[in-house]
Amino acid sequence: MTNAAPAKVAVLISGRGSNMQALAAAQGDAYRLALVASDRPEAPGLAWADRQGIATFARSPKGTGKAAFEQALDTALHDAGAEWIALAGYMRLLSDTFVARWRGRIINIHPSLLPKYKGLDTHARAIAAGDEVAGCSVHVVTEELDAGAVLAQAEVPILAGDTPDMLAARVLIEEHRLYPAALKEFVRT
């Protein structure tokens, strides 16, 4: 039996934040969300987090540049007491400096069965390739895009007539199941 306090997790988003909402819904003894941060102040997920009473950080790197943005983000993460970072639809590459500072403490969810289809347009590429299965992966973030160790994956079938949007919706349901479970395991390490 352990009486360890819940791990403090920051979630980085760029948009709607449905994975962040799934992570928030699964908060409990394993982890709590200490901060939701975004590189896009208009990201709908930020307003949602704010309404839940979760601390938020919002700042665009446009203007000040990436280094100043990441410095401010790092300060906000420390101020919030964050120990772990979960990227959830965060669509900007983190610098090598930032990744090194948080080495081994950042994970990401990616909408493909890695190592297949790193980067963008994963669902269209899986359909175009004639794949029979697609899915999502939770992986450790390293300096190289979508290349860190895979922690967990979930598969869905690709059906005849699927469009990228139809497939994305099927994969997203699995993302919302997979990510909280993988995060709970990860913060125990």
172 part of the interface to ligand GAR, by CB under 6 A: yes
| Position 88 contacts ligand GAR (CB under 6 A) | yes
d(CA 147, CA 153) in angstroms, rounded, equals 14
Per-residue contact string for residues 97-136; x = within reach of ligand GAR by CB under 6 A: ------------xxx-------------------------
Asked if 30 is part of the footprint of ligand GAR (rule: CB under 6 A), the reply reads no
Asked whether the CA dihedral 19, 24, 25, 30 is positive or negative, the reply is positive
Identify which of residues 17 and 148 has a Cβ nearer to ligand GAR in the complex: 17
End-to-end CA distance of the chain: 16
Q: How far is CA 158 from the centre of its chain?
A: 23
Report the alpha-carbon distance of residue 102 to residue 106 in Å, rounded.
7
Q: Is 110 a catalytic residue?
A: yes
Q: Is 175 in the site for ligand GAR (CB under 6 A)?
A: yes
> Which CB sits closer to ligand GAR, 73 or 86?
86
User: Closest Cα to residue 149, out of 108, 179, 184, 92?
Assistant: 108
- The single residue of 78, 110, 139, 176 carrying the catalytic annotation is 110
Strand, helix or coil for residue 116: coil
Q: How far is the CB of 57 from ligand GAR (least distance, A)?
A: 16
Q: How far is the CB of 176 from ligand GAR (least distance, A)?
A: 8
Nearest residue to ligand GAR on Cβ basis: 89
Q: Which stretch binds ligand GAR (CB under 6 A): 8-16, 34-42, 95-103, 148-156?
A: 8-16
Asked if 26 is part of the footprint of ligand GAR (rule: CB under 6 A), the reply reads no
Task: Sort strands 7-13 and 150-157 into parallel, antiparallel or unpaired.
Answer: unpaired
Q: Is 174 helix (H, G, I), strand (E, B) or coil?
A: helix
Is residue 148 within the footprint of ligand GAR (CB under 6 A)?
no
| Residue recorded with tokens 């963008």 | 120
Which is closer to ligand GAR, CB of 105 or CB of 110? Answer: 110
| 138, 179 Cβ separation under 8 angstroms | yes
Q: Tokens 């160790």 correspond to what residue? A: 149
- Residues found near ligand GAR in the complex (CB under 6 A): 13, 15-19, 88-89, 109-111, 172, 175
